[in-house]
Amino acid sequence: MQSIRTLPLIRMALHISLLASVSAIAFFFTPAGVAAPAIQPVSANKTEKQAASLAFAPQQSPANVEVVEEVQADSNQKNIQKTQAKLQKAGLYQGPIDGRSSEQLGQAVAAFQRLKGLPVTGLLNEETFARLQKSNSISAEIDMLERLVYAESRGEPYDGKVAVAAVVLNRVKSEQFPDTIKGVIFARNAFSVIQNGRLSSAKNKETQLAVRDALFGDDPSRGALYFYNPDISTSRWIFSRITTVVIDNHVFAV
């Protein structure tokens, strides 16, 4: 009589083992931190007991998913705060250091990307964040650019000053030139104002504003890589370049 009573239980156990031998359901975390089901095949050499235990294995709970998402959000907020502080110190960002994304922060990130010759997206992607954290001379690079623009465009209209700054930024981005502000400015025979490897420390408020406008995307040079004064230039080669625009005394070209 005892064996007859246990027969339904044996059948139930065999049924569970059969289902478990087909597949076992597990959960994994996607890059976005959301749990998604995945089917994992059970190898043929597993015993019925092992297969049954897989079928009843603990699954990822919604609470654990929330913890992962909270950790990711906290990490993102800290990265944004670091970015805000860095860009604020360089004078590119004027907003609060609150760990929140904003249009103003996006514009500041884009300005940094132009300064470094990175693809300009305004997004704090992995490459931009890494370059930003390694950069300890953002203010010094901007200062150097301001001094060059002052030396090269004194007496030129405001658009002419912005255009000169834009040419330097265009060169940093171009594969034909060094990929840093300093590298572009001090390249051999790049600018006539560089004498004996030195650059004057003089600049003014208008020059600073012109450089800022160029960093924030204004380019009156229309993508130019060169500029020259046709009245005093002695280079036959420079006259062969294609003109993009003429602003007062300077011809801008590619």
Examine the pLDDT at 165 and tell me if it is beyond 70. yes
Q: Is the dihedral of CA 163, 105, 79, 136 positive or negative?
A: positive
Residues pairing with 243 in the sheet: 253
Top pLDDT among 31 and 46 is at: 46
Quick: pLDDT tens for 110-138: 999 999 999 999 999 999 999 999 999 99
Q: Examine the domain organization and report whether 86 and 115 are in the same domain.
A: yes
Amino acid at residue number 92: L
Contact 226, 215 (CB under 8 A): no
| pLDDT band for position 185 (cuts 50, 70, 90) | very high
Examine the pLDDT at 240 and tell me if it is beyond 60. yes
| pLDDT band for position 82 (cuts 50, 70, 90) | very high
Contact 82, 133 (CB under 8 A): yes
Q: Domain boundary residue among 134, 169, 186?
A: 134
Q: Examine the domain organization and report whether 164 and 229 are in the same domain.
A: yes
* Local structure of residue 73 (DSSP, 8 states): H
Q: Examine the domain organization and report whether 143 and 109 are in the same domain.
A: no
Q: Domain boundary residue among 44, 60, 76?
A: 60
Q: Domain boundary residue among 37, 60, 83?
A: 60
Quick: pLDDT tens for 42-57: 444 444 444 433 333 4
Quick: pLDDT tens for 94-105: 999 999 999 999
Residue 196: give the domain boundaries.
138-253
Contact 138, 112 (CB under 8 A): yes
* Local structure of residue 234 (DSSP, 8 states): -
Q: Examine the domain organization and report whether 145 and 245 are in the same domain.
A: yes
In this prediction, residues 74-97 reach a mean pLDDT of 94
Measured distance CA(33)–CA(103) in Å, rounded: 26
pLDDT recorded at residue 70? 56
| pLDDT band for position 91 (cuts 50, 70, 90) | very high
Question: Number of structural domains, the chain?
Answer: 3
Q: Examine the domain organization and report whether 32 and 123 are in the same domain.
A: no
Q: Examine the domain organization and report whether 147 and 244 are in the same domain.
A: yes
pTM: 0.72
Q: Examine the domain organization and report whether 145 and 249 are in the same domain.
A: yes
